[in-house]
Amino acid sequence: MNPYFAEFLGTTLLVLLGNGVVANVVLARTKGHNSGWIVITAGWAIGVFVGAFCAASASGAHLNPAVTVAMASGGKLAAGKVAGYLLAQMAGGMMGGTLVYLFYREHFAVSDNPDGKLACFCTAPNIRNPAQAFFCEVLGTFVLILPIFLVTGPSFQLSGAGGVTEVPVGLGSLGLVPVALVVFGIGLSLGGTTGYAINPARDLGPRIVHALLPVPGKRDSDWGYAWVPVLGPLLGALLAVLVYAVCC
């Protein structure tokens, strides 16, 4: 599989299942309505596992610009691949957000809460303090990236139709399980403030889709906050790379 298509497909599946579980819990008259935070965090962890499982052998399963920036900064991904990975991840985030809307279209129509509808696409802080939310996204992403670096270790080169791709050794099918568990743990322990975006494509791609789609009764897409789940994860990723380089 072409590594860029793998990133697109994996990110699409991640967002479809991740934002899909949010829609199932938040929107009116679904089978999972009001089933709670544990369901959301579990659904996101499974979404990460499924998306990464499908992309791992072709691209290393970044599915997240913060991971890509970290891998490139740490010498685990060729610099020439970064732009392609980022574009594929953003496109996947937009596709996943679109599919969630199409799947739950009838439930968007019967739901009355505009904030809940926005939550099916992107994150928002429960207490409006951008500086604090930025700190939470930095720390949450740091907790994601450092274990990924520890579990992947060295990388090897895989030749295929898409050219030579750097594939982390640890991200085989078994190596994906601890990554999914890390995401589950972040959601349970650190997700209550901002909704733990920890992934710019997962937040910005669907946020753009929310602005474009004819979601009935929607509010604005909260562009004043949108920089937090983009810049926070990128900084957290770079800090994780720095700590890994110094200590490991």
Residue with tokens 């904030």: 115
Higher-confidence residue of 149 and 138: namely 138
pLDDT average, residue stretch 233-239: 98
pLDDT average, residue stretch 176-183: 92
Domain boundaries, the chain: 3-247
3-state secondary structure of 130: helix
pTM score, whole prediction = 0.92
- Retrieve residue 201's tokens: 């494509």
pLDDT at 169 over 90: no
pLDDT at 218 over 80: yes
Q: What whole-number distance in Å separates Cα of residue 145 and Cα of residue 35? A: 29
pLDDT at 165 over 60: no
Higher-confidence residue of 43 and 167: namely 43
CATH number of 3-247: 1.20.1080.10
Within 8 A by CB and 6+ apart from 214, the residues are none
158: β partners: 165
pLDDT score of 176: 84
Query: HSE-up of 106 (CA within 13 Å, CB side)?
Result: 2
pLDDT score of 151: 77
Q: Which residue intervals of the chain are DSSP H helices?
A: 3-26, 37-59, 65-73, 82-103, 105-110, 114-119, 130-152, 176-190, 200-212, 228-247
Could you tell me what percent of the chain has a pLDDT over 70?
90
- Please list, residue by residue across 69-78, b when 16 or more beta carbons sit within 10 angstroms of its beta carbon and e when fewer do: bbbbbbebbe
Per DSSP bridges, beta strands 155-160 and 163-168 are: antiparallel
pLDDT at 30 over 70: yes
pLDDT score of 175: 66
pLDDT score of 26: 98
pLDDT score of 170: 42
pLDDT score of 181: 95
Sign of CA dihedral 202, 156, 144, 137: negative
What is the distance between the terminal CA atoms of the chain, rounded to a whole angstrom?
32
Residue with tokens 């990464």: 52
pLDDT score of 160: 42
3-state secondary structure of 156: strand
- The pLDDT-based confidence of 161 (bands split at 50, 70, 90) is very low
